[in-house]
Structure 1
Amino acid sequence: MSIAAIESVLQQMRATALQTGFATTHRASDAAESSQAGGFAGELQRTLSRISGMQQEAYGKAEAFELGKPGVALNDVMVDLQKANVAFQTGLQVRNRLVAAYQEVMSLPA
């Protein structure tokens, strides 16, 4: 797997995050600064943190619904749980592709 393919997956993750309201929108210069600050590892860490945050928020809302707190609708709980699930599945697929890329690189002759 090439660097271009990994960058393509990262772009897909960003697009999905923006579509689901998962990430805040920022200017291109801010994105360039953030990618330079941590590189790929930093971006991966931030993405994993956002996925974890989405899951915690969804589970918190589900618990609030179960306890009967006012203002928590079932449809909101279900949508948040599905968004968290989609984010997790996307992260899992990225991990799978990174592992496959690592295995491919390690199998190259020296």
Structure 2
Amino acid sequence: MVQGVEFNRLMLEMRSMQTEAMARSKAVAAPAAGAEQVQGPSFADMLSKAVGSVNETQQTAGEMAKAFELGQGGVDLTQVMIASQKASVSVQALTQVRNKFVQAYQDIMQMSI
């Protein structure tokens, strides 16, 4: 059940990032007369942040697994398994995003001018 909750949380984060990016692109595309243009984070920044978050999740899972293997107190097997599943789901989601980008790039490159 926890895995489903974490996947849903990850999907909600991705959707909120998409909504935020779309809102910013609309604001940049049609600024109001006399309004200053507000620069938000670039797509590369957002992607870098997402990759960093996945990396952080993996490192946390690895540290928890190591602590459990060494018998350190306060680390429960269930916590280790949950952290491991979070890391796995986040990597799978990132892989799917990468696959979509590659497919979009290939589709654009195959377009005739």
Give the C-alpha shift of residue 37 in structure 1: 3.2
Give the distance between the partners of 1:100 and 1:17, measured in 2 at CA: 19
Equivalenced residues, count: 85
Q: 1:107 to 1:44 in 2, by over 3 A?
A: same
Q: 1:94 to 1:76 in 2, by over 3 A?
A: same
Task: Quote the residue 1:74 is aligned against.
Answer: 77
1:15 to 2:18 alignment? no
Whichever of the two has the greater Rg, that structure is: 2
Give the distance between the partners of 1:54 and 1:16, measured in 2 at CA: 14
Gaps of 5+ in 2: 1-8, 25-38
Give the distance between the partners of 2:66 and 2:81, measured in 1 at CA: 12
Q: What does 1:51-90 align with in structure 2 at a 5 Å threshold?
A: 51-90=54-93
Give the C-alpha shift of residue 41 in structure 1: 1.3
Q: TM-score, normalised by structure 2?
A: 0.67
Structure 1: 4+ residue segments shifted above 2 A: none
Give the distance between the partners of 2:104 and 2:14, measured in 1 at CA: 23
Q: TM-score, normalised by structure 1?
A: 0.69
Give the distance between the partners of 1:42 and 1:13, measured in 2 at CA: 18
CA RMSD of aligned residues (A): 2.4
